[in-house]
Amino acid sequence: MSFTPKADAMPAGRCDGMKEIEPNRAGASLAVGIVMARFNQTISEGLLSGCCHELHRLGVTDVTLASVPGALEIPLALQTMAQTGRFDALVALGCVIRGETYHFEVVSNESARGVTDVQLATGVPIANAILTVENDGQAEVRMFQKGLEAAQCAVEMANLLKAVK
């Protein structure tokens, strides 16, 4: 047995009286840290280009970049940056391209898990733009846009957490 409310019993759209925190991508007051893997550097630089372009457009002027050898090193650098208390949000940039061995799965899964663990442990939002792709072509097509989206995510999440607090 299922329950279906009458159409006139429910308000259209959102709940009446509900408080809603609107998305906010104003970045002028924010400090953003970026950790970029140097492995697959051309792709990482493309991600960085999109990210920096969008951070600038959103008004973020306080940006710090740290580079690490590869995707597995990103979480530790993010954690260290988060623990300083200097950053409102962080961005992870890198690229893992499938090869002929199981290593792709290990690096993809563990870097993603590490980024999520750091975010949850520190309370600092992290936009994960570590691409996991089949080949260079897929990465090249996605790099600028994914970097741009990571910047938007970082700014929006930093503002959301500030609004909630």
Q: Please give the positions annotated as active site.
A: 103
Beta carbons within 10 angstroms of residue 1's beta carbon? 2
E strands, 6-153, in order:
31-37, 62-68, 89-97, 126-133
Measured CA to CA, the distance from residue 79 to residue 121 in angstroms comes to: 9
Strands of 31-37's sheet in order across: 62-68, 31-37, 89-97, 126-133
